[in-house]
Amino acid sequence: MVRVRYAPSPTGLQHIGGLRTALFNYLFARASGGSFILRLEDTDRTRCEDRYVQNLYDTFNWLGIHWDEGPDCGGAYSPYTQSERILLYRQYANELLDSGKAYYCFCSQQRLEELRKQREEAHSPETGYDRACRNIDAAEAARRAKNESAVVRLKIPLDESTSFKDIIIGESKWNNRDVNPDPVLLKSDGFPTYHLANIVDDHLMGITHVLRAQEWLSSTPLHIILYKAFGWQPPEFCHLPMVMGQDGKKLSKRHGATSVDEFRNQGVLSAALLNYVSLLGASYEEGNEIWTLDELAARFSLEKLHKASAVFDYKKLEWFNAQYIKAAKNDVLAEKALPFAVNAGVFGAAGKTPSVAEMKLFENAMPLVKERANYLNETGEKLRYLFCEPALPPPEEFIPKKSTREEAARLLRIGRGIIAELAAKNEEEAEAFVKRVAEAEAVKLGDLLMPMRVALTGSRVSPPLFGSASLLGGEKCAARIERALEILQRN
């Protein structure tokens, strides 16, 4: 049975690259009837923080992606947090020491730093460890390790080569002398490095496929060597195409938002983000881009992954989000948009929640904005005029093009006379009614509506006027027009 994992290090917020890796693992597990596992690789004790673990849980709960086994739900291979598995890693490091496939290294950080500087000054092409402790007698090294600070290093077989087949990239072959020189497996504090913990856990947890970012490709020969050292069968590897900015460089802060929280706080819907990220390096069916998570899982396969890097297009994500906002039911959209409106102070002071009546009005107003909003955080601002008197602009803003202040006032007086009847009609009836009024008054329809729009909403650009008038009601609309007339009629 297929068993895949997402194994993040909780040293930062969840970002787009990590989300894409988790999503593809999740979709592959669901498509193949397998299991999706979460494992926390938290052995970097200087950088791991509980708040990043919580961010991971919050992020994937918001996205609706749930694992079958993990630190929070358990499973047959618990624990799923590496800091709780330390004795296991020491056990397997000792196994490699006993078989002569690893050795103790006593080199200090100072010596390693001096080695690096010497090579730089000599312009040497050599990098990494110089294997100074590789040939110390094993018995002597074991005695020294009882009293001296030491790390455990893997003894790379130097006269061999390592090959593997990647599902996307194909066959790769490496000369072992080009592999990271005898990397550290166990640090002097007894904690494992990524390489040891990762291989031990993938083997013990029965991981069948490793889907990870292409930046890990250069580590794969080392991992294959480790599997051979233990006598274990490695999983299948699938290195996912990189996610790049539009400048062709790896997606980073300089391109804009990269953490999932940033997109969420901007008002991106979780379904829209998942849908877009699912297309970064994969394709499903020709002619369709909108998919639910279940539909993606039903269509996903490793054969649909691309070799070429994927480009993250912020405008394309915006388009996806707009499509999901348009398709949302009014009550669902209102519920998701509400926190943004509350934080923006749409219902009064920032943080003030709406009354029952205000919430009903907010929900009823969703059709006015859903065709025009790209992000949830736009909806409250676009509808603020429904909940409080808008600040009116200077008189010039009421005047239609090539018209006068006096004419604008006349048009508003016409509007004041018809607004109660206009507000009582549906959109189709209101449009036909206003057209008849414009013809009778011998004015352009746009000229008649523009001053009314400014009076009711405080802006020339607003949600649809007829729907706004209906939600505000005839009495409130008439009062706002009267207020605008006072401005226009002042000397």
Task: Just list the catalytic residues.
Answer: 253
Tokens standing for residue 354: 């709406």
